[in-house]
Amino acid sequence: MKRLIATGLLSAAFTSALAQTLTPIKIGEINSYSAIPQFTLPYKRGWQLAVEEINAKGGLLGRQVVVIDRDDAGKPDEALRHAIELSSKEKVDILAGGFLSNVGLALADHAAKNKRLFIASEPLTDAIVWEKGNRYTFRLRASTYMQAAMLVEEAAKMPAKRWATIAPNYEYGQSAVANFKALLQAKRPDVEFVSEQWPAQGKIDAGSTLTATMAAKPDAIFNVTFGADLARLVREGNQRNVFPKTPVVSMLSGEPEYLEVLKDETPKGWIVTGYPWDQIDTPEHASFAANYHKKFNENPKLGSVVGYATMQSIFAGIKKAGSVDNEKLVLAMRGLKFSTPFGPAEYRAIDQQSTMGAYVGKLDQRGGKGTMVQWRYADGKNHLPTDAYVKARRPADAMK
Protein backbone atom coordinates (compact mmCIF):
# COMPACT_ATOMS: atom_id res chain seq x y z
CA MET A 1 0.00 0.00 0.00
CA LYS A 2 2.82 2.38 0.92
CA ARG A 3 4.51 1.60 -2.40
CA LEU A 4 1.29 2.44 -4.29
CA ILE A 5 0.93 5.74 -2.43
CA ALA A 6 4.54 6.64 -3.10
CA THR A 7 4.17 5.75 -6.77
CA GLY A 8 1.05 7.91 -7.00
CA LEU A 9 2.82 10.84 -5.39
CA LEU A 10 5.79 10.48 -7.72
CA SER A 11 3.46 10.29 -10.74
CA ALA A 12 1.62 13.46 -9.66
CA ALA A 13 4.92 15.23 -9.05
CA PHE A 14 6.19 14.13 -12.47
CA THR A 15 3.01 15.35 -14.18
CA SER A 16 3.25 18.70 -12.42
CA ALA A 17 6.93 19.05 -13.30
CA LEU A 18 6.23 18.17 -16.92
CA ALA A 19 3.44 20.74 -17.12
CA GLN A 20 5.89 23.38 -15.93
CA THR A 21 8.20 22.67 -18.88
CA LEU A 22 5.56 22.79 -21.63
CA THR A 23 4.25 25.95 -23.30
CA PRO A 24 1.42 27.21 -21.09
CA ILE A 25 -2.15 27.67 -22.22
CA LYS A 26 -2.62 31.43 -22.40
CA ILE A 27 -5.90 33.22 -21.73
CA GLY A 28 -6.08 36.94 -22.46
CA GLU A 29 -8.41 38.69 -20.00
CA ILE A 30 -9.65 42.23 -20.66
CA ASN A 31 -11.77 44.14 -18.16
CA SER A 32 -12.66 47.53 -16.69
CA TYR A 33 -10.43 47.19 -13.64
CA SER A 34 -9.83 50.90 -13.10
CA ALA A 35 -13.29 52.10 -14.19
CA ILE A 36 -15.48 49.72 -12.16
CA PRO A 37 -13.24 48.30 -9.42
CA GLN A 38 -16.08 47.38 -7.04
CA PHE A 39 -17.05 44.56 -9.42
CA THR A 40 -13.93 43.83 -11.45
CA LEU A 41 -11.45 43.44 -8.59
CA PRO A 42 -13.50 40.67 -6.93
CA TYR A 43 -13.96 39.28 -10.45
CA LYS A 44 -10.17 39.13 -10.85
CA ARG A 45 -9.79 37.34 -7.54
CA GLY A 46 -12.42 34.84 -8.68
CA TRP A 47 -10.54 33.88 -11.83
CA GLN A 48 -7.22 33.88 -9.95
CA LEU A 49 -8.64 31.28 -7.56
CA ALA A 50 -9.87 29.13 -10.45
CA VAL A 51 -6.47 29.28 -12.20
CA GLU A 52 -4.61 28.43 -9.00
CA GLU A 53 -6.87 25.42 -8.43
CA ILE A 54 -6.51 24.02 -11.95
CA ASN A 55 -2.73 24.43 -11.95
CA ALA A 56 -2.48 22.71 -8.57
CA LYS A 57 -4.10 19.71 -10.28
CA GLY A 58 -1.54 19.68 -13.07
CA GLY A 59 -3.10 22.22 -15.41
CA LEU A 60 -4.91 21.34 -18.64
CA LEU A 61 -3.72 18.95 -21.34
CA GLY A 62 -0.55 18.55 -19.29
CA ARG A 63 0.13 22.29 -19.45
CA GLN A 64 -0.10 25.12 -16.92
CA VAL A 65 -2.72 27.83 -17.43
CA VAL A 66 -1.58 31.45 -17.53
CA VAL A 67 -3.92 34.45 -17.61
CA ILE A 68 -2.58 37.73 -19.02
CA ASP A 69 -4.90 40.53 -17.97
CA ARG A 70 -5.37 44.04 -19.31
CA ASP A 71 -7.39 47.08 -18.16
CA ASP A 72 -9.72 48.60 -20.78
CA ALA A 73 -10.72 51.52 -18.49
CA GLY A 74 -14.32 51.07 -19.67
CA LYS A 75 -13.43 52.15 -23.23
CA PRO A 76 -14.13 50.03 -26.33
CA ASP A 77 -11.08 51.40 -28.18
CA GLU A 78 -8.80 50.45 -25.29
CA ALA A 79 -10.31 46.96 -25.19
CA LEU A 80 -9.69 46.49 -28.90
CA ARG A 81 -6.11 47.70 -28.60
CA HIS A 82 -5.49 45.15 -25.87
CA ALA A 83 -7.22 42.37 -27.82
CA ILE A 84 -4.94 42.97 -30.80
CA GLU A 85 -1.82 43.07 -28.60
CA LEU A 86 -2.78 39.95 -26.65
CA SER A 87 -3.46 38.01 -29.84
CA SER A 88 -0.49 39.18 -31.94
CA LYS A 89 2.25 39.72 -29.33
CA GLU A 90 1.30 37.49 -26.39
CA LYS A 91 -0.15 34.78 -28.65
CA VAL A 92 -3.04 34.01 -26.30
CA ASP A 93 -5.19 31.00 -27.12
CA ILE A 94 -8.49 32.48 -25.88
CA LEU A 95 -9.87 35.91 -25.02
CA ALA A 96 -12.21 36.52 -22.08
CA GLY A 97 -13.75 39.31 -20.04
CA GLY A 98 -15.63 42.54 -20.66
CA PHE A 99 -17.89 44.39 -18.25
CA LEU A 100 -19.76 47.17 -20.05
CA SER A 101 -22.00 46.07 -22.90
CA ASN A 102 -20.45 48.41 -25.47
CA VAL A 103 -17.00 47.06 -24.62
CA GLY A 104 -18.27 43.49 -24.86
CA LEU A 105 -19.77 44.13 -28.29
CA ALA A 106 -16.49 45.61 -29.52
CA LEU A 107 -14.58 42.54 -28.33
CA ALA A 108 -17.18 40.22 -29.87
CA ASP A 109 -16.75 41.97 -33.21
CA HIS A 110 -12.99 41.52 -32.91
CA ALA A 111 -13.52 37.83 -32.14
CA ALA A 112 -15.63 37.35 -35.26
CA LYS A 113 -13.21 39.16 -37.57
CA ASN A 114 -10.17 37.34 -36.20
CA LYS A 115 -11.75 33.93 -35.56
CA ARG A 116 -10.66 34.11 -31.93
CA LEU A 117 -12.75 32.46 -29.20
CA PHE A 118 -14.11 35.10 -26.82
CA ILE A 119 -15.89 34.30 -23.56
CA ALA A 120 -17.89 37.40 -22.63
CA SER A 121 -18.05 37.04 -18.88
CA GLU A 122 -20.09 40.03 -17.73
CA PRO A 123 -21.61 42.14 -20.58
CA LEU A 124 -25.38 41.75 -20.30
CA THR A 125 -26.56 43.04 -23.68
CA ASP A 126 -28.73 40.61 -25.64
CA ALA A 127 -27.15 41.74 -28.90
CA ILE A 128 -23.91 39.95 -28.06
CA VAL A 129 -25.57 36.55 -28.60
CA TRP A 130 -28.49 37.59 -30.82
CA GLU A 131 -28.48 40.46 -33.35
CA LYS A 132 -24.68 40.82 -33.24
CA GLY A 133 -23.90 37.26 -32.23
CA ASN A 134 -21.16 35.32 -33.95
CA ARG A 135 -19.64 31.86 -34.05
CA TYR A 136 -16.72 32.74 -31.76
CA THR A 137 -18.50 34.53 -28.90
CA PHE A 138 -20.04 32.85 -25.86
CA ARG A 139 -21.60 34.72 -22.93
CA LEU A 140 -21.59 33.57 -19.30
CA ARG A 141 -23.89 35.82 -17.23
CA ALA A 142 -27.65 35.92 -17.31
CA SER A 143 -28.54 38.49 -19.98
CA THR A 144 -30.79 41.53 -19.75
CA TYR A 145 -33.60 39.45 -21.30
CA MET A 146 -33.13 36.69 -18.73
CA GLN A 147 -32.96 39.01 -15.72
CA ALA A 148 -35.89 41.06 -17.02
CA ALA A 149 -37.88 37.84 -17.37
CA MET A 150 -37.01 36.88 -13.78
CA LEU A 151 -38.14 40.26 -12.48
CA VAL A 152 -41.29 40.34 -14.61
CA GLU A 153 -42.50 37.20 -12.83
CA GLU A 154 -42.67 39.28 -9.66
CA ALA A 155 -43.71 42.59 -11.26
CA ALA A 156 -46.72 40.98 -12.93
CA LYS A 157 -48.08 40.08 -9.47
CA MET A 158 -48.04 43.71 -8.33
CA PRO A 159 -51.20 45.85 -8.58
CA ALA A 160 -49.21 48.60 -10.33
CA LYS A 161 -50.53 49.64 -13.75
CA ARG A 162 -48.55 52.83 -14.39
CA TRP A 163 -44.82 52.18 -14.68
CA ALA A 164 -41.80 54.45 -15.04
CA THR A 165 -38.27 53.38 -16.03
CA ILE A 166 -34.86 54.76 -15.10
CA ALA A 167 -31.91 53.33 -17.00
CA PRO A 168 -28.44 54.35 -18.22
CA ASN A 169 -28.50 55.57 -21.80
CA TYR A 170 -26.41 52.90 -23.52
CA GLU A 171 -26.88 49.38 -24.84
CA TYR A 172 -27.35 47.62 -21.49
CA GLY A 173 -29.96 50.06 -20.17
CA GLN A 174 -31.82 50.29 -23.47
CA SER A 175 -31.96 46.50 -23.81
CA ALA A 176 -33.09 46.00 -20.21
CA VAL A 177 -35.96 48.48 -20.53
CA ALA A 178 -37.10 47.13 -23.91
CA ASN A 179 -37.20 43.57 -22.57
CA PHE A 180 -38.94 44.49 -19.33
CA LYS A 181 -41.61 46.45 -21.15
CA ALA A 182 -42.29 43.76 -23.72
CA LEU A 183 -42.34 40.89 -21.23
CA LEU A 184 -44.47 42.69 -18.64
CA GLN A 185 -47.02 43.88 -21.19
CA ALA A 186 -47.25 40.33 -22.56
CA LYS A 187 -48.23 39.12 -19.07
CA ARG A 188 -50.18 42.22 -18.10
CA PRO A 189 -51.79 43.97 -21.12
CA ASP A 190 -53.36 46.45 -18.70
CA VAL A 191 -50.05 48.12 -17.74
CA GLU A 192 -48.70 51.26 -19.37
CA PHE A 193 -45.33 52.99 -19.23
CA VAL A 194 -45.76 56.64 -18.42
CA SER A 195 -42.15 57.84 -18.11
CA GLU A 196 -38.68 56.87 -19.36
CA GLN A 197 -35.57 58.55 -17.95
CA TRP A 198 -32.20 57.97 -19.62
CA PRO A 199 -29.32 59.45 -17.56
CA ALA A 200 -25.80 59.12 -18.95
CA GLN A 201 -23.95 56.21 -17.36
CA GLY A 202 -21.96 57.44 -14.36
CA LYS A 203 -23.37 60.97 -14.59
CA ILE A 204 -26.91 60.76 -13.25
CA ASP A 205 -28.54 63.92 -11.91
CA ALA A 206 -30.66 62.06 -9.39
CA GLY A 207 -32.74 65.08 -8.41
CA SER A 208 -33.92 65.98 -11.90
CA THR A 209 -34.34 62.33 -12.82
CA LEU A 210 -36.67 61.69 -9.90
CA THR A 211 -38.54 64.97 -10.43
CA ALA A 212 -39.32 64.00 -14.01
CA THR A 213 -40.17 60.44 -13.03
CA MET A 214 -42.58 61.32 -10.25
CA ALA A 215 -44.26 64.03 -12.33
CA ALA A 216 -45.74 61.18 -14.37
CA LYS A 217 -47.35 59.73 -11.20
CA PRO A 218 -46.20 56.13 -11.64
CA ASP A 219 -47.49 53.28 -9.50
CA ALA A 220 -44.06 51.60 -9.67
CA ILE A 221 -40.55 52.11 -11.09
CA PHE A 222 -38.26 49.78 -13.02
CA ASN A 223 -34.65 50.76 -12.24
CA VAL A 224 -31.56 49.68 -14.16
CA THR A 225 -28.93 52.04 -12.72
CA PHE A 226 -25.99 50.54 -10.83
CA GLY A 227 -22.78 51.58 -9.10
CA ALA A 228 -22.41 55.24 -8.13
CA ASP A 229 -25.56 56.15 -10.09
CA LEU A 230 -27.60 53.72 -8.00
CA ALA A 231 -26.21 55.17 -4.76
CA ARG A 232 -27.09 58.73 -5.85
CA LEU A 233 -30.58 57.69 -6.92
CA VAL A 234 -31.28 55.87 -3.65
CA ARG A 235 -29.98 58.70 -1.50
CA GLU A 236 -32.08 61.28 -3.33
CA GLY A 237 -35.14 59.04 -3.32
CA ASN A 238 -34.84 58.39 0.41
CA GLN A 239 -34.57 62.10 1.14
CA ARG A 240 -37.65 62.84 -0.95
CA ASN A 241 -39.60 59.92 0.53
CA VAL A 242 -39.99 58.44 -2.94
CA PHE A 243 -38.58 55.23 -1.46
CA PRO A 244 -40.09 53.12 -0.03
CA LYS A 245 -43.39 54.85 -0.81
CA THR A 246 -43.15 53.99 -4.52
CA PRO A 247 -42.47 50.29 -5.25
CA VAL A 248 -39.33 49.56 -7.26
CA VAL A 249 -38.22 46.57 -9.32
CA SER A 250 -34.49 46.80 -9.90
CA MET A 251 -31.90 44.90 -11.89
CA LEU A 252 -28.59 44.00 -10.14
CA SER A 253 -29.32 46.01 -6.97
CA GLY A 254 -29.10 42.98 -4.68
CA GLU A 255 -25.45 42.37 -5.54
CA PRO A 256 -23.10 42.82 -2.56
CA GLU A 257 -20.88 45.13 -4.62
CA TYR A 258 -23.64 47.73 -4.48
CA LEU A 259 -25.25 46.88 -1.15
CA GLU A 260 -21.94 47.48 0.60
CA VAL A 261 -22.04 51.04 -0.70
CA LEU A 262 -25.68 51.64 0.21
CA LYS A 263 -25.31 50.29 3.77
CA ASP A 264 -28.09 51.74 5.98
CA GLU A 265 -29.53 53.64 3.02
CA THR A 266 -30.58 50.37 1.38
CA PRO A 267 -34.27 50.81 0.45
CA LYS A 268 -36.49 48.13 1.92
CA GLY A 269 -38.88 46.14 -0.23
CA TRP A 270 -37.27 46.61 -3.64
CA ILE A 271 -37.61 43.50 -5.81
CA VAL A 272 -34.14 42.79 -7.20
CA THR A 273 -31.74 40.38 -8.83
CA GLY A 274 -28.63 39.86 -6.75
CA TYR A 275 -26.50 37.46 -4.72
CA PRO A 276 -27.29 36.61 -1.06
CA TRP A 277 -23.88 34.99 -0.61
CA ASP A 278 -24.19 34.55 3.16
CA GLN A 279 -27.43 32.58 2.93
CA ILE A 280 -26.68 30.03 0.20
CA ASP A 281 -25.94 26.58 1.63
CA THR A 282 -25.46 24.40 -1.44
CA PRO A 283 -22.28 22.25 -1.51
CA GLU A 284 -20.97 23.96 -4.67
CA HIS A 285 -21.31 27.41 -3.18
CA ALA A 286 -20.06 26.48 0.29
CA SER A 287 -16.85 25.04 -1.17
CA PHE A 288 -16.26 28.06 -3.38
CA ALA A 289 -16.98 30.59 -0.62
CA ALA A 290 -14.69 28.81 1.86
CA ASN A 291 -11.80 28.57 -0.62
CA TYR A 292 -12.27 32.19 -1.67
CA HIS A 293 -12.23 33.43 1.92
CA LYS A 294 -9.20 31.31 2.74
CA LYS A 295 -7.21 32.79 -0.13
CA PHE A 296 -8.27 36.44 0.03
CA ASN A 297 -9.53 36.82 3.61
CA GLU A 298 -12.77 38.35 2.39
CA ASN A 299 -16.24 37.17 1.47
CA PRO A 300 -17.14 36.63 -2.19
CA LYS A 301 -19.07 39.13 -4.25
CA LEU A 302 -20.98 38.47 -7.43
CA GLY A 303 -17.93 39.48 -9.45
CA SER A 304 -16.00 36.74 -7.64
CA VAL A 305 -18.53 34.15 -8.84
CA VAL A 306 -18.48 35.45 -12.41
CA GLY A 307 -14.67 35.43 -12.60
CA TYR A 308 -14.47 31.92 -11.15
CA ALA A 309 -17.26 30.52 -13.34
CA THR A 310 -15.81 32.13 -16.48
CA MET A 311 -12.60 30.17 -16.04
CA GLN A 312 -14.45 27.01 -15.02
CA SER A 313 -16.34 27.11 -18.31
CA ILE A 314 -13.16 27.70 -20.32
CA PHE A 315 -11.39 24.82 -18.57
CA ALA A 316 -14.34 22.50 -19.24
CA GLY A 317 -14.32 23.51 -22.91
CA ILE A 318 -10.60 22.83 -23.29
CA LYS A 319 -10.95 19.43 -21.60
CA LYS A 320 -13.84 18.48 -23.89
CA ALA A 321 -12.07 19.68 -27.04
CA GLY A 322 -8.75 18.16 -26.01
CA SER A 323 -7.21 21.17 -27.69
CA VAL A 324 -6.95 24.95 -27.72
CA ASP A 325 -7.66 25.09 -31.45
CA ASN A 326 -10.40 27.70 -31.67
CA GLU A 327 -12.52 25.83 -34.22
CA LYS A 328 -12.49 22.70 -32.06
CA LEU A 329 -13.25 24.78 -28.99
CA VAL A 330 -16.30 26.40 -30.60
CA LEU A 331 -17.76 22.98 -31.36
CA ALA A 332 -16.89 21.68 -27.89
CA MET A 333 -18.45 24.64 -26.10
CA ARG A 334 -21.77 24.48 -27.92
CA GLY A 335 -23.94 22.56 -25.49
CA LEU A 336 -21.05 22.37 -23.01
CA LYS A 337 -22.06 21.51 -19.45
CA PHE A 338 -19.91 22.98 -16.69
CA SER A 339 -20.03 23.67 -12.97
CA THR A 340 -20.41 27.04 -11.23
CA PRO A 341 -20.79 28.11 -7.58
CA PHE A 342 -24.50 28.50 -8.41
CA GLY A 343 -24.77 24.91 -9.65
CA PRO A 344 -24.60 23.28 -13.09
CA ALA A 345 -24.89 25.36 -16.25
CA GLU A 346 -24.38 24.98 -19.98
CA TYR A 347 -23.82 27.06 -23.08
CA ARG A 348 -26.86 26.68 -25.33
CA ALA A 349 -25.85 25.53 -28.79
CA ILE A 350 -28.36 27.77 -30.56
CA ASP A 351 -27.07 31.13 -29.29
CA GLN A 352 -24.03 30.30 -27.12
CA GLN A 353 -25.70 31.84 -24.07
CA SER A 354 -25.00 30.29 -20.68
CA THR A 355 -27.86 29.08 -18.51
CA MET A 356 -26.23 30.28 -15.27
CA GLY A 357 -29.02 32.02 -13.39
CA ALA A 358 -29.44 34.71 -10.75
CA TYR A 359 -31.09 35.16 -7.37
CA VAL A 360 -34.35 37.10 -7.13
CA GLY A 361 -35.64 38.52 -3.86
CA LYS A 362 -36.34 41.67 -1.85
CA LEU A 363 -34.03 44.20 -0.25
CA ASP A 364 -33.95 44.67 3.50
CA GLN A 365 -31.52 45.76 6.21
CA ARG A 366 -29.78 43.76 8.90
CA GLY A 367 -27.42 45.40 11.34
CA GLY A 368 -27.40 48.60 9.32
CA LYS A 369 -26.40 46.79 6.14
CA GLY A 370 -28.29 45.88 2.99
CA THR A 371 -29.27 42.27 2.38
CA MET A 372 -31.63 40.12 0.34
CA VAL A 373 -34.62 38.35 1.88
CA GLN A 374 -37.36 36.07 0.54
CA TRP A 375 -35.03 35.10 -2.28
CA ARG A 376 -35.02 32.21 -4.71
CA TYR A 377 -32.59 30.98 -7.33
CA ALA A 378 -33.91 31.55 -10.84
CA ASP A 379 -32.29 28.99 -13.13
CA GLY A 380 -31.34 30.69 -16.38
CA LYS A 381 -32.66 27.87 -18.55
CA ASN A 382 -36.19 28.72 -17.39
CA HIS A 383 -35.92 32.35 -18.46
CA LEU A 384 -34.66 32.08 -22.02
CA PRO A 385 -36.80 32.59 -25.12
CA THR A 386 -37.77 29.93 -27.62
CA ASP A 387 -35.50 28.74 -30.41
CA ALA A 388 -37.78 30.46 -32.92
CA TYR A 389 -37.30 33.77 -31.10
CA VAL A 390 -33.52 33.38 -31.24
CA LYS A 391 -33.43 32.27 -34.89
CA ALA A 392 -35.38 35.38 -35.88
CA ARG A 393 -32.66 37.56 -34.34
CA ARG A 394 -29.34 35.73 -34.59
CA PRO A 395 -27.45 35.87 -37.91
CA ALA A 396 -27.60 32.59 -39.80
CA ASP A 397 -23.82 32.39 -40.22
CA ALA A 398 -23.39 32.60 -36.43
CA MET A 399 -25.11 29.23 -36.07
CA LYS A 400 -22.96 27.31 -38.54
| pLDDT tens string 295-307 | 999 999 999 999 9
Domain ranges for the chain, please list them: 2-143+281-356, 145-279+358-383
pLDDT (average), residues 266-287: 97
Q: What is the mean pLDDT of the chain?
A: 94
CATH class for the domain made up of 145-279+358-383: alpha beta
**Is residue 5 pLDDT above 80, yes or no?**
no
* Range name among 1-5, 141-145, 238-242, 358-362 with the lowest pLDDT average: 1-5
Contact present, 229 and 207 (Cβ < 8 Å): no
What's the rounded mean pLDDT across residues 364-382? 96
pTM: 0.92
CATH superfamily of 2-143+281-356: Response regulator (3.40.50.2300)
Residue 17 pLDDT > 90 = no
Higher pLDDT, 112 or 1: 112
- Say what angle helices 101-114 and 76-88 make with each other, to 10 degrees: 30
Q: What is the dihedral of CA 141, 143, 147, 149, to 10 degrees?
A: -140
Domains 2-143+281-356 and 145-279+358-383 share a fold: yes
